[in-house]
Amino acid sequence: MITVTGTVRSALAAPEALDYLAAFEHTPEWDPGTPVVRTLSEGPVAVGHRYHAEAEFRGKRQTLIYEVVELTQSRVKLRGENKTVVSVDTIDVAPSGTGSEVQYTAEFQLKGWLKIAEPLMRPAFQSLAGPAMDGMKQALDARA
């Protein structure tokens, strides 16, 4: 498994930060590696809510179907899958002064024969974190 983490602090209060980040369709606003996300479910975000996402990785666009698997007052966890990878994204939001601190963890489990390539793929996955964290901070602060 490949794990990528990052933390940002924002002037946006924790409840508002979680509301924004839990609505996964906002991801293209802050993550350049995920330029397309469409909601597949009706109504407000809840466990079971599904999304069509297109992620760019190493010059190729791949489709994943994500589902909200956990949603609390401080966390949203989504699980995405396609034929080559399972991705679990966990976003924990905590108050920090008058703003918030967001801990983002993405876990990637490659499928089939690709599992043996995980050590070689790790740097490519980890290179996605910086731009995503920078974009997240900018998007959250713009809403503060």
Please report, for the chain, the start and end positions of each structural domain, with discontinuous segments joined by +.
2-131
This prediction's pTM: 0.92
- CA-to-CA distance for 8 and 58, rounded, in angstroms? 25
Burial grade of 83 (CB within 10 A; 0-12, 13-18, 19 or more): exposed
Given pLDDT bands bounded at 50, 70 and 90, which one contains residue 68?
Answer: very high
pLDDT per residue as tens digits for the range 32-59: 999 999 999 999 999 999 999 999 887 8
Q: Would you tell me which CATH number, out of the four given (3.40.50.1470, 3.30.530.20, 3.40.50.720, 3.40.50.10420), belongs to the domain 2-131?
A: 3.30.530.20
User: Mean pLDDT, to the nearest integer, of 109-134?
Assistant: 88
